[in-house]
Structure 1
Amino acid sequence: MAETAIDYGAVFKALPGMVALLTPELVYADVNEEFVRVSGRSREQLVGKYLFDVFPDNPNDPAATGMRNLEASLYRVLATGERDAMALQRYDVEDPERPGEWQKRYWSPVNAPLLGSDGKVVLILHRVEEVTELIRARGGSPGNRGSRARTLEAELYTRARELQELNERLRQAHSREREVALALQAAMLPAPRQVRNHPAAVRYRPAVGALNVCGDWYDLVDLVGGDRIGVAVGDVVGHGLEAAGVMGQLRSALSAASRVADGPAQALDVLGRYAHVIDGAESATAATTFIDCDRHLITYSSAGHPPPVLVHADGRTEFLDQATDTPLDARPDPIPRPQAETTYAPGATLVLYTDGLIERRHEDIDKGLGRLADALRHHRGQDPEALADTVLSELLPPGGATDDTALIIVRL
């Protein structure tokens, strides 16, 4: 039997449930026939229109939150790249034939991302099951169906409001913790400055939402013995105040160790032993470089961290990945870590970063490394401050990343 191509456009139109495709700007890109039928809107009233212009909250009900909850769900999908299933929602719909009159409706939505080749959300699949008639039918026999339906409806509405209030309190608590953790982190990280005679730029971008924030750090130190500097970056697994506290301890320890160590490998050896006795330092990573500016020599070592990038003056990019080892606390009895060397000519640029800059869900890390190399090569003529802003603009998703990001750029 010959294989027949499936017409997925026809399948989409014939799906038995309400399904719409939304752009990242929350504009209807397409809707199936069931969506048109149940919503009471024509395709012309939907496709190309902003969702909340078509379906706003009921202005006659100050307590209406259904559309706001839907908006929050859609933005979570855009930020995380993951499916978001919502609890039963009540949001009223204006009668298309009687403007100003609103119909009480109950919906059960699921929002799922459709990802492009770069791992970014290109469309949101918005599936909706209307359960209004089901709720009304739960009222019982014809004689008492109306009163029982109203009672059930009131109970569901009350429970939904209670859940929304609880979620709001949790959101506010997470928001306060996030603000305190960010303030603590800002106090512990070094201020942007020039190291010796070398311009440097540092950036920190917190993750979207209250989670996965405040575990990233960077450091620049003046090393003894000639024109020598140390540049390091690290990442603590975790979030919030605990991660910020662990981050501060590890950064300070590596900064101190770098000033007395023979090289970056020995500095990470010391840091690994220290991390072994710190709660919350499990699986923490770090990369550090010692730069001898007189000899134009970089010595580096990495503990489970993405490799630094050296952008040579001629545009060639070199990933410093010849001395990569396990995360800081990976071994009960640490063994000496590897280190490697590379040379550079004046005008080169050294870039260290954390994984929030390059990693995307459902995407191989090599794609993110390739994007970083291309951006650095193309914009290498910019000064470090401008280059840092350009790299963040080109590599981070428009709505922000789901992991925090640290970036440090030094012109050699």
Structure 2
Amino acid sequence: MNGPVIDFQAVFQALPGAVALLTPELVYADVNEAYLSMSGRTRDQLIGRYVFDVFPDNPGDPGATGVRNLHASLRSVAATGERDTMALQRYDVADSEQPGVWQERYWSPVNVPVLAPDGTVTLIVHRVEEVTELIKARGNRGGGGHTQVLEAELYTRARELQELNKRLRQAHAREREVALHLQQAMLPAPRPLGHHRAAVRYQPATGALNVCGDWYDLVDLPERSRTAVAVGDVVGHGLRAAGVMGQLRSALSAASRVAGGPAEALEVLGLYARYVDGAESTTAASVYIDWTGRTLTYSSAGHPPPAVCDPHGIVTFLDQATDPPLGARPEHVPRPQAQAAFADGSVLVLYTDGLIERRREDIGTGLQRLADSLARHRTADPDRLSDALLTDLIPPAGLTDDTALIVVRL
């Protein structure tokens, strides 16, 4: 497509609004001319510096909340990849020409993420509009008047909204903490699988409430030469998701002990899920390991495929027995089941989608990233391999969805 060559740096500098580009670590990467003019700072005073080192709270105001509110917004954008429009903020600024003198200033900020192809946040666009003159208009002009009353009401409502947002964040933080404790209590501690080695991990989302819907399970079957391993993912988050997760994990664990195979166990779980509020559209994958026959029998209910890496580094995804999530069909239909052989020294990995899925990225890219990491670290013991997979696959900004992981040395 032909068209004019656009100098985006020139466009950025010519923007009439004040805009700064921050790294995910909240360091100034670039600012436009309007931002320099508004802030009363030079480029040398900003670029490469931590934003709150340049603009700290007014030490003479014990009730100052500017740093705290802006920091919470910027960290949320960096962690979730979602934009945040902040309530009106009072954020005093030190006078660059008069040390110790602070100017009372009011701002309307918007923070927007810039995403890399893999969905990670590479920059944060911090756009601010100064409204100090508008807020002070009533005092400056004196007297009443309809306009001044409206401006005062606007400021009051903005402060109330700011306080409400603060309380909501605190409530979410409390719910997240309780949900995580509940999740930890309901997930089983790893048990020895005879002389076989296994490791499990649960990694909550970073700075978000999108936690507590994922689970894992390992079950030694009555036939001592077989083990069932499973993972699942409940739609939703927080305390409700944790409660549903606990019910489904327990039901699948019980069904696995009496079912003839993973497909039958998932069929039982699907029937049970119809009577559990919040269980609809849950995904799950179950694998039965036959240690004597060296086979993996598996079935999936809409879940990402388990992966097997052989001793030579060849990774195979167990994707030949995939069916819709639990409760997706109005009537009961038998679920598919498939089998694959494995060689001694192979590694089996089950996981939930938070490990591989990224915004605006095809799922195949995430699966390939998993395969590459698994092949590279395949000789490590399960604990080290689990940690290596999390290190390689978790983006720098952290997970936006919780993740469960099982690694079994075959």
Q: What range describes the TM-score normalised by the shorter chain of this pair? A: over 0.9
Equivalent in the alignment of 1:42: 42
Computed over aligned residues only, the root mean square deviation of the Cα atoms, in angstroms, reads 2.0
Equivalent in the alignment of 1:324: 322
Q: Return closer, same or farther for 1:210/1:48 CA change in 2, 3 Å cut-off.
A: closer
1:406 aligns with 2:404: yes
Q: Return closer, same or farther for 1:171/1:38 CA change in 2, 3 Å cut-off.
A: closer
User: Counterpart amino acid of 2:110?
Assistant: V
**Matches of 1:50 and 1:141, distance apart in 2:** 34
Equivalent in the alignment of 2:223: 225
User: Counterpart amino acid of 1:95?
Assistant: D
Q: How does 1:154-193 map to 2 (within 5 A)?
A: 158-193=156-191
Q: How does 1:5-404 map to 2 (within 5 A)?
A: 5-137=5-137, 139=138, 142=141, 144=143, 158-404=156-402
Q: Return closer, same or farther for 1:195/1:62 CA change in 2, 3 Å cut-off.
A: same
Contact 1:19 1:31 in 2 (8 A): yes
Deviation of the 1:344 alpha carbon: 0.7
**Matches of 1:47 and 1:80, distance apart in 2:** 25
Deviation of the 1:226 alpha carbon: 4.2
Deviation of the 1:370 alpha carbon: 1.2
**Matches of 1:144 and 1:181, distance apart in 2:** 53
User: Counterpart amino acid of 1:215?
Assistant: G
**Matches of 2:101 and 2:150, distance apart in 1:** 23
Gaps of 5+ in 2: none
**Matches of 1:237 and 1:211, distance apart in 2:** 13
> Normalized against structure 1, the TM-score is what?
0.94
Moved more, 223-232 or 21-30: 223-232
**Matches of 1:161 and 1:378, distance apart in 2:** 53
Q: Return closer, same or farther for 1:288/1:258 CA change in 2, 3 Å cut-off.
A: same
Q: Count matched residues.
A: 409
**Matches of 2:99 and 2:328, distance apart in 1:** 65
Contact 2:19 2:31 in 1 (8 A): yes
User: Counterpart amino acid of 1:392?
Assistant: L
**Matches of 2:122 and 2:177, distance apart in 1:** 31
Describe the superposition over 1:194-240 as per-residue Cα deviations: whole angstroms up to 9, x where unpaired: 21221110000112235211110000001122411000000011112
Q: Return closer, same or farther for 1:15/1:223 CA change in 2, 3 Å cut-off.
A: same
Deviation of the 1:399 alpha carbon: 3.8
Moved more, 172-181 or 350-359: 172-181
**Matches of 2:333 and 2:380, distance apart in 1:** 41
Contact 2:285 2:299 in 1 (8 A): yes
Contact 1:226 1:294 in 2 (8 A): no
SS at 1:190 equivalent: coil
Q: Return closer, same or farther for 1:206/1:325 CA change in 2, 3 Å cut-off.
A: same
SS at 2:267 equivalent: helix
Describe the superposition over 1:115-168 as per-residue Cα deviations: whole angstroms up to 9, x where unpaired: 11221111111111111123334x39945389x96x877765654444343333
Gaps of 5+ in 1: none
Deviation of the 1:183 alpha carbon: 1.9
**Matches of 1:143 and 1:230, distance apart in 2:** 77
> Normalized against structure 2, the TM-score is what?
0.95
Contact 1:303 1:328 in 2 (8 A): yes
**Matches of 1:258 and 1:32, distance apart in 2:** 61
Describe the superposition over 1:19-74 as per-residue Cα deviations: whole angstroms up to 9, x where unpaired: 11111111111111111111110111111111111111111111111121111111
Moved more, 207-216 or 193-202: 207-216
Deviation of the 1:174 alpha carbon: 2.4
Moved more, 23-32 or 125-134: 125-134
SS at 1:374 equivalent: helix
